[in-house]
Structure formats: C-alpha cells, structure tokens
Structure 1
C-alpha cells in the first residue's frame, strides 16, 4: 500500500542521503566525546598524552565532550527516524543505502574509547585470570594484583564471570595478543562486537522475509537502531556476538538445518548463557508443525544432547567444566529503578523496614518469586501447544512450516521478554534481545511501532545519563546535570517538537504511516 502523503509534507522533505550523513556526524561526535569521558584504564599510556590530559582534566573540555556525546547520540536517533521516512517503500533500492548507513554510522565508534560501560575492562581482567590459571567462575577480578589499574566497575570486581567458555577464550586471547596493553586488548572485543552486528545484518532480514515481512524494514528497525549501535559498538558489549549467533542459529533451524542451528545457538550460549532460553524452541522448529508429543520430546532431547555435549567438550578443553552454570546468577545481584520487579521489591522492602520488619529479606523473596515466575512462564511458552497465526496474518502464499516457525519464534520472543521484565536488573541492551525476535515475527505500524520508538528514545537517554568517566578533579554533579539536561531536552525536541519526526511519536498528528509489514 503506497502512502498518499503530499510532496510538500515537511515530514518527508529532504533526502535519505541527508539522514545518512546526519547519522555519520552523530557517530563522529561520539568518537570525539569519548576522548574526554570515555573509559580508559588507569594504566593506559594514552592517559599520559597531552590530548587526553587536556580533554579529561579541563572542566570546559570535559563538559564539551559530554555535550558532544549527547548531541551525537541524539543526531543518530533522529537520523534513524528520518531514514525510515525517506525509505517508506522499503523496496530493493533500500538495502544498499541501509548498508551504507550501517557502515558509516558504525565506523567512527569502532575507534572510540569505550562509552557508557566499563565491561570491556572487566573482560581484560577475566582474560588475565585465565592467563594466570585462575578459575574465573570462582574468582573475581579482585584476585589479580593491581586489578584496580584496569578500571573495571567495582560492582563486578568481586563477582565471578557470568560468561561462557568461548568468551573466556576470546578474553584470554585478547590479553595474550595485547602483551600488557589495555588499548590493544580492546581490539578483539570491538571486532567481536562488530561480528555480532554483521551477523544480525545478514540474518535479521532473512528471518523477516522467511515469515513474510519486509527484510529492509527489519534491518532498519533492529540493526540500524541507535540503541544497538551505541551499546554493541561504542560500549563493546559481548551481547552483540551472543545475539548475532543465536539469530543465525534460529534462521538455520527454521530452514531445516537443525544441527547447524543448534551449534550456532550453542556458540551463543558459550558467549553468554542466557540464550539457553532458545534451545527448546530450536527443538520445536526441528520437530515441525505436524509433530506429536513423542517426536517433540525426542527433538528436545536431541537438541539438549548435542548442545550439552558440545559445552561439555569445551569444559574439558578449558578445564572448567560446567562452572558457568553456577555463575548464571551473577547479574541478578543488582537492581535498577526502571525494572518493574527491581523497583517494586525495593519499595516494598523499604516500607517493611520502616515498620521494623526484615526489609532485605522481603526484597529477596519478591525477586525470587519473579525469577521462579519467569522460569515457569518460559516452560509454559516452550511446552504448550503452538497455535499458528491465520493465513490472513502473513499472506496466503506462505507455507505452513513458515507460519509455524513464525509462531514458535514469537513464543521465544515472549520467553526472552518475561525473563527480562521479571528480573530486578534491566540493562539498556536487553531491549535488543527482544527487539530482534519481535521484529522478525512482525512489528506492526501504529501502537507496536510507537512502543519500539519510545523505548529506543528512552534507552538512548539511559545510556547518555549513565556511566561517564570523569576525572576526580571535575565536579561530577555538574557534568551529569549537563548530560541529563542536554539529553532530555534534545530527546523531547525530537519526539514532540521537531515537525519532521514528531509525527512518528504522536498518533493524533501522524501525517504518514511507515509501510505495512508485508514483504514488497
């Protein structure tokens, strides 16, 4: 269905190229801003060079870098929105432009200092544990001499690693290659993050098209999303490779290459074990739409057996066995205000404490209930009978198996959603776990799309106002106030004031709709 927007509609003035270069400018600003407030190890040689001394110890320079970060990220958000308006048809000519945008938007961040997260320095510490023959599943980074010189987040210095054996090998290899240089050790982690983004750029469109949805729209919605680029490339999170591998695995399981799918999902588990959630759904895809319970249980057993066998072999090679299973609880030790269970448990715990009760125990009980509920809901989503959507929902030309695959993967998307929503801690990049699978199984225009846009704006703001590396002599409160002010004002301008983008957030004033989900 072609939109009937007049040519002079301000929401569609300009060209897609202008949006592309606007996003590139935003990415360059993030690179420049990282010089002043990006994360550097205390032992880094860069910290003693004149450029970084001025950028990181001069109040004016630090505030300037902070403003550059905020404006840059907001420019990327706006460019992403404008790109969707310019490419309303999402036809074959969209793909080259989207890939060019992805390349230009990611490239500057590839050489930026890590932004909004110190996880990359925790990776280095865990690699050093491996290099020294220490078990990272029982030892925190604090077991290292002078561990604080790396600058990892103090929340995790005492905690065991929550990562799988493949990521531990990447960490160990990065430390070995760098030979003591934290800057060089970051390179393999950035390349791993980039590899994850590339996998998503390849397999998200393929999965969307398999289910009858426009692959170019899915590519835009997921892979060019500023939340993904900022958190996966700029912040150097290993969730990028984890998600890329599991999406690739689900694709191969969907096209009847189950062993390849299982191996890829297992590789994802060996990065970060949360993707264990995907295994029962791979078994359902392998069983097929006509399978009875005997075949389903057989395929579940085969899926688990292959995956467990591969993980066991990895455990034998690294000598750590299944130690990562005990470390699965590591991320659950903290909470954040916008996580429903985290907020509710701490508000109730605080109230119980005021009345003389055991507030901390109450908080723990509520969080444990949330965890148990998430496990039960995942089991229900995996084991209850799968109902396929009607033909009208995806088009009459789609085979039954593709409709079945769409239904199974939608169940899997909800399984990831309940695990995230019932956890006390929700990181901004957790949104991307859900977005990838909801996008390839259908995000409709209207309310569903607006939810994605609002969440993207929200988690972009969270990143900008969260972790900034600020020198001790600089007033932290002032810098944070600047970041919050610029980020909030800029985001509200894009959502509610900018004549070209506000139509996407305000349904009553929508002058145009993005194209329908159906493949062109």
Structure 2
C-alpha cells in the first residue's frame, strides 16, 4: 500500500475506506463489537457507579433498575457478556481482515468511535475514580491544595461518590490535570452527570491523540498503521479503561505518544513540551523524558551529546513544571504525593503478593508484619527504578522505543498494585515496537483477555441490601466461562491461542 507523506491525507491512500467495504465480512465483527458496547452501556445503567448526590438517584427508572435483585443480576450479565463479546469481536476483526495493508487507518478511527460511543452515556464502570476527579476539582474551586487535603476536607463529600481511599489521600495527579478537574467542575455547575460526560470527552480526546500518534509512529517504525491501530485504540482494554472507566491515563498516554511522534520527526523542543504536558496529567511519564533526550541526541551519539540533550530536556521540562507550579501556588507538591506509599496490593502483582505473603508469615510469629510488608514493597520499587535507569543508560542509542517500553514495564511489574489501565500504556509501547505473529501476538491476546476479565469483575455498584457477593460471583462466573469459551472451545477464535496462532487468520472466511 503506498504511504502518504507525513502531512498527506489519509483519504489519498488506496484501499478499503468504509466499514461496509471491509474484506471478508469484517463489518460483521465491527457491528458485533458495537452490540457489545451497547450491552455494556445498558448494563452500566444498573451496576455502574452512581453517587448518592446524583440528580438521577431518585428517578423511578433507576430506582426500579437498581432496587430489584433480578434486574441487578441482568445488568451484571449484560456488562460481563458485553465486555467479553467485545474481545471476541476484536479478535474476529483481525481474522476477517487478514491483510491490514488494504484497510485505511480512517476505518479504524470509525470503528473505535463506534465501539466507544455507547459507553459515553452510561454510569462509570469498573472504577469510581472519576468521582475523585470531581472531588479534587471542587477542592481547587474552594482554594484548597489537593496535594495536602483529601476530599474529606469538603462538606458532604460522601455525596460525591469517591472511593474511601481518596477521602484522606492527596492526589497523585499532575498540576495540568488539576486545572482540567477544576474546569470540568466549573463548566458542569456542580452537576455530577454533566461532569462525568465532560470527563469522558477528555478521555475521548486522549484516545484521538493516541490514534493520530499511532499512525505517525507506526509509519516511522515501518509498521502497518491500521494493524497498529487495531492493537491499540481499538483494543477492548482501551475502550473499557479509558471510556467506560474514565481514567485520565488516556489523555496522559495520548500526549506522551504525540510527544514521541514530534521527537522522531525532529521537533525536539515540541516533544519535550508535549511530554511535560503528559507529566502534568500523571507524573509517571517522567520516565519518558530521558528517552526523548536520547532521540534528540541521535543514533551513535557520544556521552557528551547525550548528557547535553538530557540537560536541555530536563531544563525545558523542569522550567515548564515550575511555571505551572508557581501559577497554581502548589509548586512541586505532586512529588511527595506521588511517592507516598500505599497499603493496597493485588494478587497478580509479584511484589504485592510477596509483600502480603511475607507480612502474613511474620504475623504468625507475632512479628512486625507491616514493617516487613513495606520493606518488600520498597525493594520492589527500588528494583523497578534501577531496571528503568539501566534501560536509559545502556550504551546503544538504537531500539529506544523498545527500551522505553521495558523501562515502563519494569516500573509497573515491580509495583505492589497493578491496575488494568496501567497495562494499556505497555501495550501501546510494545505495539509500536512491533507485535509479530507467534508467541508475541499470543501474549498480546492473553493479556487482553486476562485484564478484560479483571476489569469486568472488579467493581460493581449495587445497593447495600443486595448481596454484592452474589452479584460479583455472577460476573466472575460468566466472565471466566466466556473467556474460556473464546480460548478453548470457539472453533473460530481458539486457533489464535495455540501454537498455530499465525494460521488463525485463515478462518476469516469460515
């Protein structure tokens, strides 16, 4: 497929330009994914997160939907079924298309829009972090420092619907996102539903930035842009975590990827500014700055030039962050908030499981369980930082995208808590390194299925008098069963998870 120039129009590329014209019935998979999103949207009306201060909580329709245990279970089934149906549609889309070079990137933009659109108008699913965003925005409106004050500093903060984790904790987000939170609260006039829609618009902007950057970076690295879009913005984890759950990681990642695109195109100062904006959303993307410096230095650069480019990168970024800190009056308050150790852990995080296990063993012998558990978490953090630094400092100046992907991976996998939306960063980076057929693609499939199941079964909002154990059991049973069906029983998709995964696409016309 002929490639347009960097500034050319996508419409100039020959090939499939509409969903209906997708080869080998790919449109069937697209509409199946749209139906899946609609199913999740409808289910989200009954088990999505609704704050007690919501203007909709006294609407008879929602009272009936949420007060009836049978309807709550039905909504749970719609959400879990829709989430895994979306995964199957995503897998079948690739099987049916087969040759991505015949499909324009604009078609993938439309597919992403179709799959995201229904989820723009339901309650937050699988996470209530958006209510913490609203609370932090109200702290800003009240002139309080979110890096010092938790949401509990607000009157009637329980009505805002945040997780109890946020009631006393300072925000870990950057100063730019504090302004966005304040702006959303101001524009919404205190209406929670309007604020949720506005935050979803912010998330959609993040996905759009990801899409534009993925096309440019994919072409730069010699990858098929349409296939890379399928691996990223059309991936169910992006749709679920950025739109359904409304995590600000979408905007963070979009700004970071656009910054990387500017860097590889030689616009290094612009790249530093964009990555700094990403840091202003979530400071974890500080990890990317040294790699921007390496791209600036160029291939085969000596240590002198590397150090000079690192210094320039740090100077520009630090100056911008200082200016923003001065404007807010909070300066670098996000640094201590970012490094505050948390008590949460998850069983699939290696150091989280090790910390919990070590603490439990020590407690049996009446030892300092908390001290031991925290020590293990600290070791994990140190290992992650050292590994990330090693990927920055190793001698070669090539394979920078791979090294950056590994640096972020080191930080994520050594944390005590690995959230499903953290994985979307890593999947985007590795997609831009190149996910070829074979074990890499199978691993990509497995990660998508696993973390989709984790998301679908993590958090559901039901009234106190409805047994949450039963509701979650339904979600877990259905999600695990559907995932097992996709991987082990469905004759169309199971071939993707076996040794012959590269041949899985031949089933497209069956």
Taking structure 1 as the reference length, the TM-score comes to 0.91
**Is residue 445–residue 513 contact of structure 1 (8 Å, CA) maintained in 2?**
no
Residue in structure 2 matching 1:247, options 245, 257, 260: 257
Q: Deviations over 1:246-292 (max 9, x none)?
A: 01101111111001110110000000000000000000000001311
Q: Which has the higher contact order (CA 8 A, sep 6+)?
A: 1
Match of 2:422 in 1: 430
Residue in structure 2 matching 1:154, options 158, 161, 164: 164
**Is residue 80–residue 478 contact of structure 2 (8 Å, CA) maintained in 1?**
yes
Matched residues in 2 for 1:169 and 1:510: separation?
47
**1:244 CA displacement:** 0.4
**Is residue 238–residue 424 contact of structure 2 (8 Å, CA) maintained in 1?**
yes
**1:174 CA displacement:** 1.0
Say yes or no: does 1:276 pair with 2:315: no
Q: Deviations over 1:462-499 (max 9, x none)?
A: 11111100111211111111111111111110111101
- The secondary structure found in structure 2 opposite 1:145 is coil
Matched residues in 2 for 1:347 and 1:290: separation?
46
- The secondary structure found in structure 2 opposite 1:15 is helix
Q: Deviations over 1:126-163 (max 9, x none)?
A: 00111111110011101111101111011221100000
Deviates more, 1:280-289 or 1:12-21: 12-21
**1:44-83 to 2 correspondences below 5 Å:** 44-83=54-93
Match of 1:411 in 2: 403
**1:4-19 to 2 correspondences below 5 Å:** 15-19=25-29
**Is residue 28–residue 109 contact of structure 1 (8 Å, CA) maintained in 2?**
yes
Matched residues in 2 for 1:188 and 1:289: separation?
42
**1:512 CA displacement:** 3.2
Match of 2:224 in 1: 214
**1:334-483 to 2 correspondences below 5 Å:** 334-386=344-396, 404=398, 407-483=399-475
Give the length in aligned residue pairs.
486
Matched residues in 1 for 2:381 and 2:467: separation?
39
Match of 1:236 in 2: 246
- The secondary structure found in structure 1 opposite 2:166 is coil
**1:373 CA displacement:** 1.3
Residue in structure 2 matching 1:108, options 118, 128, 131: 118
**1:174-323 to 2 correspondences below 5 Å:** 174-323=184-333
**1:175 CA displacement:** 1.0
- The secondary structure found in structure 2 opposite 1:278 is helix
**1:67 CA displacement:** 0.3
Taking structure 2 as the reference length, the TM-score comes to 0.93
Residue in structure 2 matching 1:495, options 487, 501, 504: 487
Deviates more, 1:309-318 or 1:182-191: 182-191
- The secondary structure found in structure 2 opposite 1:376 is helix
**Is residue 349–residue 360 contact of structure 1 (8 Å, CA) maintained in 2?**
yes
**Is residue 300–residue 396 contact of structure 2 (8 Å, CA) maintained in 1?**
no
Change (3 A) 1:436 1:53: same
Moved over 6 A (4+): none
Matched residues in 2 for 1:204 and 1:79: separation?
21
**Is residue 496–residue 506 contact of structure 1 (8 Å, CA) maintained in 2?**
no
Say yes or no: does 1:29 pair with 2:29: no
Matched residues in 1 for 2:341 and 2:105: separation?
37
- The secondary structure found in structure 2 opposite 1:507 is coil
**Is residue 249–residue 262 contact of structure 1 (8 Å, CA) maintained in 2?**
yes
- The secondary structure found in structure 2 opposite 1:36 is helix
Q: Deviations over 1:165-198 (max 9, x none)?
A: 1100011111111222111111221111001100
Structure 1's unaligned 5+ residue stretches are 1-11, 388-403, 515-520
- Root-mean-square deviation (CA), in Å? 1.6
Matched residues in 2 for 1:385 and 1:87: separation?
41
Q: Deviations over 1:363-382 (max 9, x none)?
A: 11111011111111111111
Matched residues in 1 for 2:330 and 2:138: separation?
15
Matched residues in 1 for 2:293 and 2:501: separation?
45
